[in-house]
Structure 1
């Protein structure tokens, strides 16, 4: 059983309620109906579909959730997932970036300066050398990474990666890809 099959089985609200009731300890169709607030008929139909799908063991009115199927599907999905994208060719930088950057978003701003510098240098690559950016555009570019654009802007200026004058910013530091 794969994760997509499980997701498909749980996409129906009645089946999801049945699984939730079973996970919380209900063991019969009647107990599931009481716990889920569903009519007995809906519980029976959902239980039949879940049993055919392999998520529930059904023995008359007794039901048991096959929880091991969830773990097996999660492990199989993790094994078949492509490796995470490398954000840097330097292993130490990549380790820091993979901790703080997920799906091209900064999940948090590192408190430790050395890690924050790695992240800021990565963010500075958004700005092209020689191009002047009004503050509004800087905010828009940084908002794509993290909601606290003021903190990111301040850190980039404080670390010499951007320079600011009269509300206009330009890249003044960091590595440049050539």
Structure 2
């Protein structure tokens, strides 16, 4: 799990409330609904999304935070926001920190930028539902340099992500 995927999974208030209830000991959907005052359907949706994102595990029906994934996300190395992404002139031109300010028109330059985004946003070999992919790409688009759907399409076109039945994977 990447830090972007973690942030995306917890971007919704309902999912944060469900995750907090799980961390504080609620082991099932009924307990979570009771502690969060959320409808059962919203709780089940949040549990599914948190599980898909790798934040929650549910062996034998008892939900728990996936501490291994959280530790891995915490250890992920990131440059300081004011530091340039690298010495690569393409990345320096089109990124400010981890935010995309534009997309290169030239395919070769665009591929360099997309490869950087794919490597920073997705673990190789991990399977991601489309919602998690979108949530991981949205922070890159905060400055309006592109939108997450365009990035997702370019990542597929450049074969930096594969898609099968709505599940995405970085080869």
TM-score bracket, shorter-length normalisation = 0.3 to 0.5
* Larger RCO, structure (CA 8 Å, separation 6 or more): 2
Query: Which structure's CA Rg is the greater one?
Result: 1
